[in-house]
Amino acid sequence: MDYLPCEMVETSDNISAAVIWLHGLGASGHDFVPIIPRLTIPEALGIRFIFPHAPPLPVTINNGVVMPAWYDIYAMDMERKIDTPQIMASAQAIKNLIEREMENGIASDNIVLAGFSQGGAVAFEAGLSFDKPLAGLMSLSSYFATYKTIQLHPANKTIPIHIFQGTHDEIVTEPLAKLAEAELIKQNYAPEYKSYPMGHEVHYQEIEDISHWLQQVLT
């Protein structure tokens, strides 16, 4: 099977958990690698951080310029108009990475999906439709692009979900993140939500909170 190319960082010689972390539009798997030392993850948790690279795609809202993208975006309206088959294909590619970690001895309920912006939308689609229980789902400055079409799987009906959002974000506005929270609650999920005085970025306090949450769901 062909897998997405990935950057990997391991916090221990004895790996028992994995975090698959998706970057945003136009970025790469290198983007969040520098954050890992700042998370100060205890070595005993033995986490493998996996940062896949999105394939190059023409992006309509950027005048068709080809760039790393998980899916095409046709319009930047409130709920976005996107290429649904592409986001589903990206979600399947992430599920393949989950399966690979499981084949390498990591239990599914020791695997977290995380994503920033576009990556978070793919994480929602992949995680909530995956057929084995996962440890958690983390959305960073993102939105639930496929809430109207997703085929939810009962295996992850009680998955811990945390939404992190900037109050000054002009790319993925807070109402979009709040819509994700509301739609999840409608489906009987129990997402945690925290916002920060930031734009479309990562806040220093957010890094501390991500570390705390990861340690909570992977302990």
Measured between alpha carbons, how far is residue 37 from residues 40, 45, 130, 156 in Å?
A: 6, 14, 29, 29
Tokens 């639930």: give the residue: 144
| Catalytic residue (choose from 90, 117, 139, 141) | 117
30 is catalytic: no
Residue 163: which of 208, 217, 115, 199 has the closest Cα?
115
Going by the DSSP 8-state scheme, the letter that residue 157 receives in this structure is T
| Catalytic residue (choose from 53, 153, 200, 203) | 200
List, in sequence order, the alpha helices (H) in the chain. Answer: 36-39, 84-103, 118-129, 174-186, 204-217
Tell me whether residue 204 is exposed, middle or buried, using C-beta atoms within 10 angstroms of its C-beta: 0 to 12, 13 to 18, 19 or more.
Answer: exposed
Question: Are 167 and 132 spatial neighbours (Cβ–Cβ below 8 Å)?
Answer: no
Sheet containing strand 17-22, edge to edge, reads 6-10, 47-52, 17-22, 111-116, 136-140, 161-166, 192-196
169 is catalytic: yes
Question: Are 143 and 176 spatial neighbours (Cβ–Cβ below 8 Å)?
Answer: yes
Which residues are tagged catalytic? Answer: 117, 169, 200
